Amino acid sequence: MAYDTNNIFARILRGELPKIAVYEDDLTLAFMDIMPAVEGHTLVIPKEAAETILDLSPEGAAATIRTTQKVAAAVKKALGVPGIMLAQLNGTAAGQSVPHLHFHILPRAHGLEMNFHGRKMVDAKVLMPVAEKIRAAL
């Protein structure tokens, strides 16, 4: 199957849709999930067009992992949580809902419900202060 250039993350990368970015470099972008499973739910995507990890170049994979590691550390520090859950799904059968490779960074603490995908969209006003904390921790 060919990469869908009109998927939501491709449109965000082209600037056609808004985002609350926390980190960006030449190869990757990290931004707040607008349907967060938990406070601080952050996504990391490669700028390379790749639907799954199997479609991503080794260089793109290395860059995406570097950014995921960097941003995950910032999320953990910014939110003062004892744990971070990383998730990366490949294909609809695995639960992938956007056909562009992405990592979920989910802050974890004892007692938090283990939701994976959020159920409703959150207003940007709620996400902005969390994004500021993460940026400050980078």
Helix 124-137, helix 58-79: angle, nearest 10: 100
CA distances from 3 to 9, 42, 52, 61, 62 (A): 12, 23, 10, 17, 20
Q: How far apart are CA 30 and CA 36, in angstroms?
A: 14
41, 100, 102, 104: the active-site residue: 102
102: annotated active-site residue: yes
State the residue for tokens 């990383």.
86
Q: How far apart are CA 80 and CA 58, in angstroms?
A: 32
Contact 7, 96 (CB under 8 A): no
Q: What are phi and psi of 46, to 5 degrees?
A: -80, 155
Active site residues: 102
